Amino acid sequence: MALAWTRSTVEAPAAQTDSPFVARIELTGPVGPAAAEYVDGSIQRANDDGARAIVLQLDTPGGLVESMRDIIAHILASKVPVLGYVAPSGARAASAGTYILYACPIAAMAPATHLGAATPVDIAGGTPMPSPLDNGLPKSSRSSEKKAPDTGVQPDAESKKVLNDAIATIRSLAQMHGRNATWAEQAVRGAATLTSSEAAAQHVIDFVAPDIDSLLAQADGRVVQADNQAITLATRDVPVRDYLPNWRARFLGIITNPTIAYVLLLAGIYGLILEAFHPGSFFPGVVGGICLLIGLYALQLLPVSYAGLILMALGVALLLAEAFIPTAGVLGVGGVIAFVLGSIMLFRTDVPGYRVNVGVIVGIACCAIVMLALLLRLVMRARRARAFNGDKQMLQDTGELLQAVMAGGEAWARIGGERWRVQCEAALPAGAPVRVISRQGLLLQVTAARAGEGEST
């Protein structure tokens, strides 16, 4: 699942009341389109309901830049202060989660949590990692960092632009809330990480809180900026109301799981193929069409490699061609290879949380190999099998007369399990075994069968 929430029975908070409350939004898992829609909608609802504050509880490995920026924009635009909280113990706010935590007016972490490793991932899969000794970092910071080994590879202009944009984003967020901007740059430039106690000591976060009650108690009385206004927090002993995702956010959370999207895409393709081979069955066509459309919708929300998608389509096409073109498995093997490579390349694997389960790819590839082997076995068996129709085969058939025949006359006989009109030069009684010697249209020329020859089946 791209998203996970602890309580799933309530779709929306209760209607606004006069009693004060703090809204809690739990973001667990990769930051993607479903997460952004859930967080953005919950922040808006909390503002409309008159919450005193919003606790955004984080446990994420990171995710997509577009979704992260969408969440940050809603945090900065919220009239209600957002308290970023990395919890429970063992949780993390890595990569995109670090940016989101920096965007919150209050940043806190539970014990045994960590944040950082916020270096942007290049679209092509590379990770620009220039030395943290460059680009204007203070000398004190330079001396504390170990110089990265020189690989001889210089980042291109596009990588520099992406990196510098990420640095500017996190530094501006740090300066807005008076946090450690130098370490923020190190987290982006050198993938630096900190534990909760280290983050508090270096003023990356405001404090460490073991639970949400401690978080609200320590935040009480602090003055923060929200929607360009100074707000004094009054959160001590205020009840917490959970804001849970609605059905749409849950649905998006399911289909935007890369493995689910991958399986939906394949189910759609094979469903339409089965409908094409068995027209009129409707069920595989209807189900396949629905799965294909949902899978394509999910893919357009995810970081998809179109080269991988084209390779997958080529693999399926080659496997289908193997069924009609006798190539002794050349097209089929090429199709399996193209399909596996396309599946591996389908998603940008360096984006945290957006990888297709390798076991699923291996399982589907094994099924394709088994089907290919079965198809080749059937083709070879068909080539070795004797013909079942035609004049050549009919000359080997025997049967029996259904009625007596006069010399040079015609009668009916059962040959090859079928009734045929036959002509015989010799007179034979009904039930006599005969053998076909020639055919003239629908009339067979027969003669008496030798001893030991019986009716063919």
Residue that terminates a domain, selected from 247, 269, 304: 247
Question: Percentage helix, strand, coil, to 5, in the chain?
Answer: 45, 20, 40
Is the residue at 313 inside a domain? yes
- State the CATH number of the domain containing residue 207: 3.90.226.10
Whether residues 360 and 407 fall in one domain: no
| pLDDT of 143 | 34
Both 64 and 197 in one domain: the answer is: yes
Task: Give a yes or no: residue 125 inside a domain.
Answer: no
| pLDDT for the residue 64 | 87
Which pLDDT score is estimated for 145?
A: 37
Which amino acid, residue 372?
L
Among 319, 345, 344, which Cα is nearest to 334's? 319
Contacts of residue 31, defined as CB under 8 A and 6 or more positions apart, other chains included, come to 60, 62, 63, 64, 67, 68, 71, 96, 97, 100, 353
- Residue 129 is encoded by which pair of tokens? 């990692």
Predicted confidence at residue 222, as pLDDT, reads 94
Are 71 and 179 found together in one domain?
Answer: yes
Is 189 inside a domain boundary?
yes
CATH no. for residue 426? 2.40.50.140
Cβ(25)–Cβ(36) below 8 Å: no
Q: Does residue 146 fall inside a structural domain? A: no
- 295 and 231 in a common domain: no
> Do 198 and 256 fall within a single domain?
no
Prior bond to 239 cis, omega within 30? no
Structural domains counted in the chain: 3
**Is residue 353 located within the same domain as residue 419?**
no
Co-location of 408 and 325 in the same domain? no
Residues 352 and 424 placed together within one structural domain of the fold: no
Q: Which two tokens stand for residue 422?
A: 């036959």
116 lies in the same domain as 60: yes
Task: Report yes or no on 274 lying in a domain.
Answer: yes
Among 216, 247, 278, the domain-final residue is 247
Pair (33, 175) in one structural domain: yes
- Output the six-digit token pair for 177: 């809330």
Tell me which of 350, 385, 420 is where a domain ends: 385
- Contact status, residue 398 vs residue 453, Cβ threshold 8 Å: yes
328 with 371, same domain: the answer is yes
Q: Are residues 265 and 361 in the same domain?
A: yes
CA 362 to chain centroid: 15
Distance of CA 335 to the CA centre of its chain: 21
In a domain, 151, yes or no: no
Domain range enclosing 187: 22-120+159-247
Q: Is residue 145 part of a domain?
A: no
User: What pLDDT tens digit does each residue of the chain (457 aa) get?
Assistant: 344 433 333 344 444 456 899 999 999 988 988 899 999 999 999 999 999 999 999 999 988 889 999 999 999 999 999 999 999 999 999 999 999 999 999 999 999 999 998 888 653 344 444 433 343 344 333 333 334 344 444 456 777 888 899 999 999 999 999 999 999 999 999 989 999 999 999 999 999 999 999 999 999 999 998 888 899 999 999 999 999 988 888 888 888 888 898 899 889 988 888 888 788 788 888 999 999 999 988 888 888 888 888 898 898 888 888 777 767 778 888 888 888 888 888 876 566 667 787 888 888 888 878 877 777 777 677 666 655 556 666 776 888 999 999 988 999 999 878 899 999 988 999 989 998 888 888 889 998 887 655 544 3
Task: Name the nearest CA neighbour of 346 among 321, 370, 315.
Answer: 315
pTM for the model stands at: 0.68
- C-alpha–C-alpha distance, residues 284 and 278, integer Å: 9
Three-state secondary structure along 66-125?
Answer: HHHHHHHHHHHHCCCCEEEEECCCCCEEECHHHHHHHHCCEEEECCCCEEECCCCCCCCC
Question: Looking at the domain assignment, is residue 147 inside a domain?
Answer: no
